[in-house]
Amino acid sequence: MTTFHINLEDDILRVKFGKSADGDQIVRDAAAQLDKLFDSETLIKGGKNLLKIDGPASLPVCYQIAHRVGHLYSAIVQALANKLVRLVKSGTTRQK
């Protein structure tokens, strides 16, 4: 079982924690989940103007996601329970 789960549904990247682990393992598992999405071309086909990320994620995982998919989208927004947590656009992060 993985320590982090990522699924793309339309333009929403659904993320959530799996089993407990250290932060570095969670980041590696998040990268592996992203690799699966790239290998299946799910993220490549999904590239649009805005990527919405919904669910809990640590700051290192957020950076991993933004680094890996930032070139496919002009803006990336992370929300948790319909509350804006982070807005990432053109390499700038703003927190509310």
Provide the domain limits for residue 41. Answer: 4-95
Cβ partners under 8 Å of residue 13, min gap 6: 6, 7, 51, 52, 53, 54, 65, 69
Q: What is the pTM of this model?
A: 0.76
Quick one: 33 exposed, middle or buried, by C-beta within 10 A (0-12, 13-18, 19+)?
buried
Give 24-80 pLDDT, tens digit per residue.
Answer: 899 999 999 999 998 888 777 655 678 888 888 888 998 898 888 888 887 888 777
Per DSSP, helices labelled H in 1-96 are 23-39, 42-46, 59-69
- Give the count of domains, the chain: 1
Taking the C-alpha atoms of residue 6 and residue 36, their distance in angstroms, rounded to an integer, is 9
The pLDDT value recorded for residue 79 is 77
Most confidently modeled range among 2-6, 9-13, 36-40, 87-91? 2-6
